[in-house]
Each structure stands twice: as structure tokens, then as C-alpha cells.
Chain A
């Protein structure tokens, strides 16, 4: 799979170049303000970790980058040009692939159809051109094997896989199609230790292949293993923005938990 990343990575990536930049970005859902004044830069060859409690606005932030919904204020810049994505297709076409927290799979469809959904391989470029089913099955199967996932049958509906296996399909798919930016929304949430390890390795491999990676997690340990840059969101605002050199794991954990609040909590829970 790491060779897949290198193979599919765009070849004009130079470490340190800003790929996606947000400046003063905000998002409101009707009366609910989910995000406010967030600045963030995703650079090639770096892993940007976004941390925060439930409802902090992490998913909202990445949904703006992946085109699922447009931002209501601020500017979003991709490869130096300001954009406002109208659909996920536009974001995908810029080489930005996302693993969504809710995975974005269609339960009743086969594993291989889910893998290629929206980016199907066809034998020709005319309307109603036949799908290249054999090749899609082969690739999906090979990519999953590289992740250490052995599905019984690549033709089984994806709803019959376990939550962790589904997560792996979603990750394998994003890694396969993400050429410039890879966004992972809590990719390790449903995974066991071994699969979490594999995901962290891919994250590192994507970084080494020159991709810009956005890694969202609740787990400061996972974040610190791969991250180059850490951002903590709280109630839709950025409360911390440090590079790896400027922050230790302990500080990160404490910041994440809200320092003082954690001390109070441990006091409360004392028996």
C-alpha cells in the first residue's frame, strides 16, 4: 500500500509547499455556529493533526476542504488559488481524498463497487461505456490485501463487513485516489491495535510520498506518533496551534483534556 501511495502521489509535490490554506474560515448551520475564524495550512510532506472534543468542529472543518459543504466566511485556498467547492467531486478532482467519519459507503453494494464508487474504471469514455469490472475487482482486492484485510469475497455487500473492515476499505480507497491531500477523520476510531498501526504507517508513508495529510483524532498518542503540526479546536475555535518542536506529548494531552479540567476530573473521580 505504501507503494500505492508513492505510485498515485502527484509528482509535482515539494515538501513544505502549502497545498490547502484556510484563513478566518467559519461555518454556520442555520443558527448553530460550528466553526469560527480558523486558520490552518496543510503543507506537502507534513501531517497536520486536528484534535478536539466531540462537537468541537473537526468534521465541519474537513468537510469544507472536501467540498461536502461550503464555508460561510473566510477564504479557502488550494494550490495558491482561492476556491469555494460546490461538491465533493470538485475537491476530488483537485487530488483531495477524504475518509469520512461515517465512512461514506453504500451498505448494499459490493466491496469493489464501493471502492471505486464515483471514480469507476471504464472501457471507453462515451456515455454508457462498459465498466472494467475485472480490473476493478482485482485492484480493490489487491489494495485491501496490502492493508492486511482479507475479505471473504470482494463481491459481498460492504454492509456484511465488520466496522473495522469497512473503515479499512474507506481508508484504502482514499489512499488509492488521493494524489495530493489525504484527509482522515478519526481513522483509527474503530480499529484494533494492529490495524491502527497499519493506518499510522500509511499516514507516515503518505507524508513521505509528499502528500499533505490532515489527521483528525481524539487520541493525542496517535497524533503525536505521526504529526508535524498540531491544532486543537474547542467549540469551533482554534485554541492551540503548534509545530512538533514546540509541544510535547504531555502538553498536548493536557491541552486536549483542558489541563485544569482534567485535574478537577481526576479529583472528582477519586475514591
Chain B
């Protein structure tokens, strides 16, 4: 028997007695989207501030809100993908500062072109991300513990190295160096739109969100991200390279942190070494508010963007309404709790048998 023997087909049940296939209704599919809760919340918050705070209604305010949202949303996007893949990163906030410090000090101390610092800091950032991922797959410890260690290590290194090199806790201004102007245009330029001026970071953010959405929903890599977060053992059993995906996701967060770090550096031409502590939680909250499940396997890039937009609106909205900005943290806590409850509800109704 060198060729497959033709075999008789088992009697396929004739289609009439099988239930008719139906597409789930549009409503059911929309309600099953991860970002639906965040979208509703964003609309409510927007209307709220629009009504109570007149300055909120101007195009300039929108530009400020978008800028503020982009500074959260860029890293929150990487964090959201990582969370869909089932892991956490507590080092993302300080990693932003590490990237900016590395870039600034390298360029300034060695009197190099700013772009050299930009490229070298990218390599350093990706290495930190890869190290996080590698430690995770090697030790099989929870990512919470591994990235908490990285968080402390980087926090110390940021301050320690900066003090050793500059003698202060901030880097020297780099705006006189070669290449600064072009780097500033790319990372932190102003884009006039006529009725308002947008920061380059906003455009980059939207581009990153589009790319991430494409990756998640339309590529094999995206399929694998959902699979390793949803059930890592099953994913491995059917041939998904789980370790590579996880390391890649940590490097994704590192890339986003690098980008934001360069933006901050080019925007202010100097960095404070203590910056970034606490932001890792804001990124996580933005991702969760946007529908990413804490346990992995569910979430979206657009959701994380909406989450960041909500925080952009609120930080600015509180100011425009003339309130004490300290209330922002309270708002953050309430949003997180609500989001977790909504996500739980959506996940249950989307995935349980009806």
C-alpha cells in the first residue's frame, strides 16, 4: 500500500437536520468587543467635562488632551499587548526614564550626534525587555516578581548612574548638540493642522495603535499573543513558540518605553533621573480600563488607546474645571474598579455557554 487507499466517507448527516448556521447578531458581536465598556465611559466623561468646564470645549483643549493621552497611551499600548499575552511589566515606568537618560548622557558626555544616543538607547531598552522576558521563561516565576526586581534595579541605576556622571539628579541640556533639531522634529515636533496644533507624539501614538491592531487581529503573531495569554499550555501543545512570543512582548513594551523616553528628552532637552516611578501602574490601569483582562487572553489595542484617552481627558478636565488635580488618583482608582467589573461581565457573557 504505497498510496493512500480510497476510503468510503462516513455518512455525513444531511444538512437539513443539522441546526442552521447563524451569524451572531451585530449587537452581540459589538457587545463582545473588549473596548466597548471603555468607549461608553469615554463618551460619558467627555460629555461631563464638556458640560461643566467651558475651556474644555476649545480645539486647543482637545490638542492638550490628546497630547496628555499620547504620553500615557504609547507605553500603555505595549503593556496592553503584554497583558493580552498573560504577563505584567512593573518596570515600564522607570524604563522610560532609563531610555531618556541613556540617550542624553551618551550624546552629551561623548559629544556625539544626538541620533547616536537615540540608537544606542534603543539597543539598551530592547536588551532590558529581552532580559525581562528571558528571565520569565527561564525561571517560570510570575512576571510580577521579575519585573518588580527590574523596577527596583532600574530605579536605582537611573539615579545612581546619573549622579556619578553629572553630579546631579538631572542630565545636562542637550539642545546644542548635533542632530538635536532633527530628532526633536521626529519625536516631539509640532504639527500645525490649522485649527489646532498636534504634537508629533500624538501622530506616532495613533500609528502605533493602528499597527498593533493589525498585528493582533490580522497576523499569526497576534493569534499567538492571544493564545499564550489565554492558555499557554494548550498553545505550546499545538506548536506555538510560547517563549519567543513572551520575550517579544516584553521587547514590545521596551520599544514603547524607549520611544516615550526619546520623546520626553527631545521635548524638554533634559531629564530628571527620578522620573517615571508610578507610571507603570497608570499604563496597566489604562490597558485594563481599555478591556485587557488581568488574566490574559483578551483585550485590544484600541481599548488601551481609549483607556489612555480617558486619562488624558480627566487629567486636563480636572484642571479646566478648576478642581484640585490630586483628585485624579481617586478617579484612577474608581475607574480601575469599574473597569475590572465591566471586563469580568463582558468576558463572562462573551465566553460562557448560553
Residues of A within 8 A of B (CB): 1-3, 5-6, 9, 11-15, 45, 66, 68, 87-89, 92, 98, 100, 102-109, 113, 116-120, 122, 127-131, 133, 141, 145-146, 148, 150-157, 159-162, 173, 198, 201-202, 205, 208-210
Q: Which residue of B lies closest to A211 (CB)?
A: B4
A161→B9 CA distance, assembly (Å)? 25
A198→B9 CA distance, assembly (Å)? 10
- Taking A13-B1, A209-B7 as contacts, is the C-beta distance between A151 and B223 under 8 angstroms? no
Task: Give, as a whole number of angstroms, the nearest-CB distance from A97 to chain B.
Answer: 9
Q: Which residue of B lies closest to A93 (CB)?
A: B239
A46→B284 CA distance, assembly (Å)? 54
Across the interface, do A14 and B1 meet the contact criterion of CB distance under 8 Å?
yes
Q: Which residue of A lies closest to B295 (CB)?
A: A108
Task: Give, as a whole number of angstroms, the nearest-CB distance from B27 to chain A.
Answer: 14
A88→B353 CA distance, assembly (Å)? 30
Q: Residues of B within 8 Å of A, CB-based: how many?
A: 48
- Taking A117-B238, A162-B353 as contacts, is the C-beta distance between A107 and B230 under 8 angstroms? yes
Q: Which residue of A lies closest to B17 (CB)?
A: A150
Task: Give, as a whole number of angstroms, the nearest-CB distance from B206 to chain A.
Answer: 19
Across the interface, do B7 and A2 meet the contact criterion of CB distance under 8 Å?
yes
Across the interface, do B234 and A106 meet the contact criterion of CB distance under 8 Å?
yes
B237 interface neighbour in A68, A122, A208, Cβ under 8 Å? A68
A201→B236 CA distance, assembly (Å)? 29
A152→B23 CA distance, assembly (Å)? 7
Among residues 10 to 67 in chain B, which have CB atoms less than 8 Å away from a CB atom of chain A?
10, 12-13, 15, 18-19, 21-24, 29
For B240, the chain A residues whose CB sits under 8 A away are: 117-118
Across the interface, do B12 and A146 meet the contact criterion of CB distance under 8 Å?
yes
Tell me, yes or no, whether B168 is within 8 Å of chain A by CB: no
15 pairs of residues in contact across A and B, judged by CB atoms under 8 Å:
A3-B7, A12-B2, A89-B241, A104-B231, A108-B351, A120-B223, A145-B15, A146-B12, A148-B12, A148-B13, A159-B351, A159-B353, A162-B353, A173-B238, A209-B4
Q: Which of B144-152, B212-220, B320-328 sits within the interface? A: B212-220
Across the interface, do B230 and A108 meet the contact criterion of CB distance under 8 Å?
yes
Tell me, yes or no, whether B227 is within 8 Å of chain A by CB: yes
Across the interface, do A160 and B23 meet the contact criterion of CB distance under 8 Å?
no
For A152, the chain B residues whose CB sits under 8 A away are: 19, 21-22, 24
Across the interface, do A153 and B22 meet the contact criterion of CB distance under 8 Å?
yes
Across the interface, do B238 and A153 meet the contact criterion of CB distance under 8 Å?
no
Residues of B within 8 A of A (CB): 1-10, 12-13, 15, 18-19, 21-24, 29, 214-215, 218-221, 223, 226-227, 230-231, 233-241, 297-298, 347, 350-354
Task: Give, as a whole number of angstroms, the nearest-CB distance from B297 to chain A.
Answer: 5
Across the interface, do B4 and A11 meet the contact criterion of CB distance under 8 Å?
yes
Across the interface, do A106 and B21 meet the contact criterion of CB distance under 8 Å?
no
Across the interface, do A153 and B297 meet the contact criterion of CB distance under 8 Å?
no
Q: Which of B24, B220, B354 has the most CB of A within 10 A?
A: B220
Across the interface, do A6 and B4 meet the contact criterion of CB distance under 8 Å?
yes
Across the interface, do A210 and B350 meet the contact criterion of CB distance under 8 Å?
no
Task: Give, as a whole number of angstroms, the nearest-CB distance from A140 to chain B.
Answer: 12
A240→B2 CA distance, assembly (Å)? 31
Taking A2-B10, A209-B7 as given, write out 18 further A-B residue pairs in contact, using a Cβ cutoff of 8 Å, ordered by the A residue number.
A3-B7, A5-B7, A11-B3, A66-B237, A104-B237, A105-B231, A106-B230, A106-B235, A116-B223, A117-B240, A119-B238, A120-B223, A131-B218, A152-B19, A152-B21, A159-B353, A161-B353, A209-B4
A128→B234 CA distance, assembly (Å)? 22
Q: Which residue of A lies closest to B1 (CB)?
A: A15
Task: Give, as a whole number of angstroms, the nearest-CB distance from A177 to chain B.
Answer: 9
A146→B297 CA distance, assembly (Å)? 30
A208→B8 CA distance, assembly (Å)? 10
- Taking A98-B237, A117-B235 as contacts, is the C-beta distance between A131 and B5 under 8 angstroms? no
For A66, the chain B residues whose CB sits under 8 A away are: 237
